[in-house]
Amino acid sequence: MVEFSRRTLLSAGVGFVGTYSGSRSILGLSGPLKLTSDHPATVLSSQAGTVDSREHATFADFGGIGDGSTNNAEAWQKIADWASRGALAGNTPKIRVPAGRYVSTSIPNLAINRLHIEFEGEVWLINTGPGHSFVLDGGANGAGAYGLRITGWPQIYGTPNSLHGIYARAIFNSEMEFNCRGAGTLSAGLYSEWLGDNKIKFIMSSNEGGLYSKPTYGMHLTNRNDAEETSYNDIELKISGTDTGIILDGALGNNLRSGSIQNCRVGMYATRKAWDNKLWGTDFESNGLDFVDTSRRLSFYGCDINTEGSFMRGSSGARVFGGRMESVTISSGAQNVLLSGMGYNRTGVGKLNDSGTQTRYRDVLNIADRLLHDGPS
């Protein structure tokens, strides 16, 4: 039997009211036809109305339930299969997920070209399994996936025994926003391998209701293979309460904008595999050490660094334009660091310790002593 809702028939231009039963319908379908109630989760089974024939669907169309207990692993797999078929057909699949708490023992890989997942209202994605809590994997080889949109700030909940909160590899020209509330103890809230030209908004903050499970790293940006760095992404972030806020490793030319990195043992660590990354207006606060730089050409623009920044051996060509640091350490083996138009020693106990090579100073202000100088004091 083929079933239609009244809403479906009216939207198709069928202008009658009531019920109809017969071996053939006015739509040319064989078999009995029944008019049903307008239930939003009704999945049409005719040629004209199957979920497969539509570009847009809802989570409920695939049996998903956000009641905080039902396992939605099967619903997510159906969504991945549906979206993959749509993308292969040249469609732009979109799935809407309404407010709710969606438990899953696993979520499949959702790195599907042009897929848009729109989370509406407060959506919790609760991973009770041992894997990653949200997966966007364009593959270990090949060109990856492009044109994805993950919108609506889903809250990602992992457990101490799960892996990364969000695992993303080989994703390009996409937009995504996540609020990670928990991940595996030895993992990262967001772990990336070879992301390029994306717009990313990411929160992992103990200041917003606490962390359900605290990972070692808030965000870890690295490469997939040689010359496949996470590169030229525009990232807005707010991270607090992890051991290390951000690791830049195999990261090239990324713009980390505004936001804050707080209450971490180390706010940011830039390794020798990172270069030409830039931070704009970021607030480093209440960290044991705000940053450690061993990378090439790391730049700070108007950032507030309230504890200490450290340019260590291997750091080369780092630049600080404006903003403030409480204390600055430039160690032996750090080269060509530029401090320009910035202030330090706001509290009167801050220090500028320089053992580096070819450090350059331009209008550096010792705030507490009100001394402006072009060299270490």
Instruction: Report helix, strand or coil for 73.
Output: helix
pTM score, two decimals?
Answer: 0.86
Domain boundary among 271, 287, 303: 287
**Residue 144 counted as domain residue:** yes
Question: Among residues 95, 87, 127, which one has the least CA distance to residue 108?
Answer: 127
**Residue 375 counted as domain residue:** no
**7 and 153 inside one domain:** no
**33 and 125 inside one domain:** no
Question: Among residues 318, 373, 311, which one has the least CA distance to residue 342?
Answer: 373
**3 and 112 inside one domain:** no
Domain boundary among 232, 254, 287: 287
Domain boundary among 10, 28, 49: 49
**161 and 40 inside one domain:** no
Which pLDDT score is estimated for 50?
A: 65
**Residue 80 counted as domain residue:** yes
Element (H, E) at 74: helix 73-88
Cβ contacts of 217 within 8 Å, gap of 6 or more: 187, 188, 189, 191, 242, 243, 244, 245, 246, 247
Q: Output the CA torsion 130→132→134→135 (10° steps).
A: -130
Q: pLDDT digit of tens for each residue in the chain (377 aa)?
A: 434 333 333 333 333 333 323 333 323 333 333 333 333 333 333 333 467 778 999 999 999 999 999 999 999 999 999 999 999 999 999 999 999 999 999 999 999 999 999 999 999 999 999 999 999 999 999 999 999 999 999 999 999 999 999 999 999 999 999 999 999 999 999 999 999 999 999 999 998 878 999 999 999 999 999 999 999 999 999 999 999 999 999 999 999 998 999 999 999 999 999 999 999 999 999 999 999 999 999 999 999 999 999 999 999 999 999 999 999 999 999 999 999 999 999 999 999 999 999 999 999 999 999 989 776 65
Which pLDDT score is estimated for 313?
A: 98
Instruction: Give the count of domains, the chain.
Output: 2
Which pLDDT score is estimated for 375?
A: 67
**Residue 318 counted as domain residue:** no
**267 and 170 inside one domain:** yes
**Residue 340 counted as domain residue:** no
Structural domain of residue 8, as residue ranges?
1-49
**95 and 224 inside one domain:** yes
**Residue 376 counted as domain residue:** no
**21 and 59 inside one domain:** no
**Residue 197 counted as domain residue:** yes
Separation in Å, CA 348 to CA 40, 307, 343, 369: 64, 12, 12, 8
**201 and 281 inside one domain:** yes
Rg (Cα) of the chain, in Å, rounded? 26
**Residue 91 counted as domain residue:** yes
**5 and 42 inside one domain:** yes
Which pLDDT score is estimated for 54?
A: 84
Cβ contacts of 66 within 8 Å, gap of 6 or more: 59, 72, 97, 98, 99, 100, 101, 102, 123, 124
- The CATH number of the domain holding residue 272 is 2.160.20.10
**197 and 139 inside one domain:** yes
**147 and 3 inside one domain:** no
Which pLDDT score is estimated for 376?
A: 61
**191 and 117 inside one domain:** yes
